[in-house]
């Protein structure tokens, strides 16, 4: 059995920031199913929000209001307040760690505009901000290599829970196929999102809900799963991201008639309205037959920005267009469509990143979560661009600090190594022994398709019921899948199957939550209930596992400064 003081699962921004905090005093094991530098945080392009006021005066109060309004008043405002207040400090810390930022002429960190933010507050490094921060944190970990052991290409299967306490994780080494138990006084999940359940997504292949489903399987409820963000500018058919920074720098959105259609949907903010609103506007245009050439796509027009500006601020986007489409955005428009991008919901935590197990905020001892896999909730019903990198860094650090506090004076809990290992080995055995005829690929494709068409930008009861039924059918077929590779060495097929299992489960929970929320708020839009309903639904949804399937219960929203008001832009 492997033993560490603390084990952190996931090595993106939240995981690494948390590790840096914990490793000051304790011995850390950090697990990633890829390599830290390959984490999906690195794909974030446009920026990280903080009210530095480097190009226009700004304040945390304004940042807070924008975030709460952007989240359609479902954010917990106590958490938002602490989060936006911490923002400038964490940015300065990143800068001191060596993070590379684009600069103003007088050498300060440059800031640009972003959707839903009333001030230019996105600090950025050209259009690869996530990459810059990810590498800066990775550098710091390499510097602290003595107290952080990184397990590259290891997979986390299960959380070890004993009553009200979490004692470690069951994992396996992808290269050797060996199953191991890691015993730890505290476990931190920074396992990211689960956008891969949708057909069109900006998410990496690795974003498959392993963390959230391991928590759910261990009896932890999940919060606000119905709130999935569709980013307005995914590359047509591929879904990969063209940063909102393009619109932040002044790009237009055009429908098939060449019109800037945002004037019909958000006249004051136009292309820089929050993402849920822009994505819905695009989908409405396409559904009304006003897509480009009648197809399911919209044009992102950067031509008027000029080559020099594009090369300075958006070089990666230009290259992506050239590589993936043969389209140079200096001369032509980029075809885009809404793409599943970010999961507002996840593992419920308090504002100290401690995982909670009910609406009253009861803590699960020794279990922490931060980043996209967690739901604090600062984003409410819809996250503003550049707020996710900030969330990962702020709450990653908080998770680290909370762990230090929690672990002081605590010993390792009891772990029955044999039993825990056997549990996971049986999972492997189950998959290997299935001698079915079903294609896992077909199951995955059908799941992604039905989630996109029936649980996507626009939802209704009928669609959602079909979706849930279809997913149930897929679950049955999943049990009769056919596996080709039965070896232990670097068996990526078996891990894809385990990931698919997690995705089928989270997809069902998302659709089920969406069916129960009979209103439209933020990223969740019901065409059969097109209005926000504060009387009946101004609350978070907590889904609990039970013998009879998932049970959804409300959890109150914390409202301090801003009473819910109509949300127009």
- What is the contact surface with other proteins in residues (CB under 8 A)? 34-35, 37-40, 42-43, 52, 89, 91-93, 95-98, 100-109, 125-126, 128, 131-132, 135, 139-140, 142-143, 145, 175, 202, 204-206, 237-238, 240-241, 315-316, 319-320, 323-326, 439-441, 483-485, 487-493
Give kind and range of the element (H or E) at residue 170.
strand 165-173
Catalytic residues: 275
Rounded to whole angstroms, the Cα distance separating 17 from 400 reads: 8
Phi, psi at 545, each rounded to 5°: -75, 145
Tell me the H-state helices in 183-264.
210-217, 245-248
DSSP at 380: T
SS3 assignment, position 103: strand
In the complex, the smallest distance separating the C-beta of residue 103 from other proteins, rounded to whole angstroms, is: 5
Beta-sheet pairing, 122-123 with 111-112: antiparallel
Q: In angstroms, give the least distance from the CB of 133 to other proteins.
A: 11
Nearer to other proteins, 469 or 485 (CB): 485
Q: How far is the CB of 20 from other proteins (least distance, A)?
A: 12
Q: Which CB sits closer to other proteins, 299 or 444?
A: 444
Distance in Å, CB of 95 to other proteins, minimum: 4
Answer for the pair 18, 116: CB distance below 8 angstroms, yes or no: no
Q: How far is the CB of 339 from other proteins (least distance, A)?
A: 11
Which CB sits closer to other proteins, 145 or 410?
145
At what angle are helices 13-22 and 387-407 packed, to 10 degrees? Answer: 30
| CA–CA dist 235, 8 (Å, integer) | 33
**Closer CB to other proteins, 116 or 291, in the complex:** 291
> Could you tell me if 344 and 375 are in contact, meaning their C-beta atoms sit under 8 angstroms apart?
yes
The nearer residue to other proteins, 125 or 349, going by C-beta atoms, is 125
Nearest to 114 by CA among 287, 313, 331, 269: 269
Whether residue 224 contacts residue 510, with contact meaning beta carbons closer than 8 Å, is answered with: no
Bridge partners, residue 543, by sequence: 222, 552
Radius of gyration of the chain (CA): 22
Query: Minimum Å distance from CB 121 to other proteins?
Result: 14
Strands (E) across 354-423 are located at 354-356, 363-369, 374-375
Nearer to other proteins, 322 or 408 (CB): 322
């Amino acid at each position: 059995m492997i033993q560490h003081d603390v084990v952190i699962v996931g090595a993106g921004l939240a995981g690494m920031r948390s590790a840096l905090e914990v490793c000051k005093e304790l011995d850390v094991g950090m697990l990633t199913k890829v390599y830290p530098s390959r984490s999906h945080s690195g794909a974030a392009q446009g920026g990280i929000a903080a009210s530095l006021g480097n190009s226009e005066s700004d304040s945390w109060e304004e940042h807070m209001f924008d975030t709460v309004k952007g989240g359609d008043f479902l954010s917990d405002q106590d958490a938002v307040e602490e989060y936006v207040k911490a923002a400038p400090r964490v940015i300065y810390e990143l800068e001191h760690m060596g993070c590379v930022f684009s600069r103003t002429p007088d050498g300060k960190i440059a800031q640009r505009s972003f959707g839903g933010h009333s001030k230019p507050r996105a600090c950025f490094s050209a259009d690869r901000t996530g990459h810059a921060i990810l590498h800066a944190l990775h550098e710091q970990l390499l510097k602290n290599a003595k107290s952080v052991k990184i397990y590259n290409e290891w997979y986390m299967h299960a959380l070890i829970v004993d009553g009200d306490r979490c004692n470690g994780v069951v994992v396996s080494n992808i290269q050797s196929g060996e199953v191991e138990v890691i015993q730890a006084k505290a476990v931190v999940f920074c396992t990211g999102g689960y956008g891969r359940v949708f057909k069109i997504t900006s998410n990496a292949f690795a974003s498959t809900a392993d963390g959230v489903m391991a928590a759910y399987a261990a009896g932890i409820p999940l919060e606000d799963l119905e709130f999935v963000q569709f980013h307005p500018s995914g590359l047509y058919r591929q879904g990969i991201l063209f940063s909102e920074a393009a619109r932040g720098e002044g790009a237009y959105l055009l429908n098939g008639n060449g019109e800037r259609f945002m004037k019909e949907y958000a006249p004051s903010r136009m292309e820089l309205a929050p993402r849920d609103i822009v994505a819905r506007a695009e989908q409405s245009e396409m559904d009304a037959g006003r897509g480009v050439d009648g197809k399911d796509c919209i044009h992102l027009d950067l031509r008027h920005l000029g080559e020099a500006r594009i090369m300075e601020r958006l070089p990666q986007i230009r290259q992506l267009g050239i590589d993936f489409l043969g389209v140079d955005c200096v001369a032509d428009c980029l075809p885009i469509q809404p793409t599943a991008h970010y999961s507002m919901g996840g593992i419920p935590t308090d504002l100290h990143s401690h995982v909670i197990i009910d609406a009253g905020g009861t803590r699960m001892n020794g279990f922490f979560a931060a980043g996209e896999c967690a739901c604090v909730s600062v984003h409410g019903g819809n996250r503003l661009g550049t707020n996710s990198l900030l969330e990962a860094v702020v709450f990653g650090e908080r998770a680290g600090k909370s762990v230090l506090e929690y672990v002081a004076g605590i010993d390792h809990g009891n772990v029955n190594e044999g039993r825990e290992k056997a549990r996971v080995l049986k999972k492997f055995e189950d998959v290997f022994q299935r001698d079915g005829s079903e294609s896992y690929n077909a199951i995955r494709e059908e799941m992604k398709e039905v989630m996109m068409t029936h649980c996507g930008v626009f939802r209704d009861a009928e669609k959602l019921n079909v979706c849930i039924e279809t997913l149930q059918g897929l679950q049955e077929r999943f049990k009769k899948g056919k596996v080709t590779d039965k070896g232990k060495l670097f068996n990526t097929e078996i891990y894809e199957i385990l990931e698919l299992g997690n995705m089928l489960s989270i997809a069902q929970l998302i659709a089920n939550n969406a069916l129960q929320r009979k209103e439209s708020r933020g990223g969740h839009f019901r065409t059969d209930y097109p209005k926000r309903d504060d009387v009946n639904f101004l609350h978070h949804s907590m889904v609990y596992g039970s013998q009879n399937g998932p049970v959804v219960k409300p959890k109150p929203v914390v409202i301090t400064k801003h009473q819910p008001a109509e949300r127009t832009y």
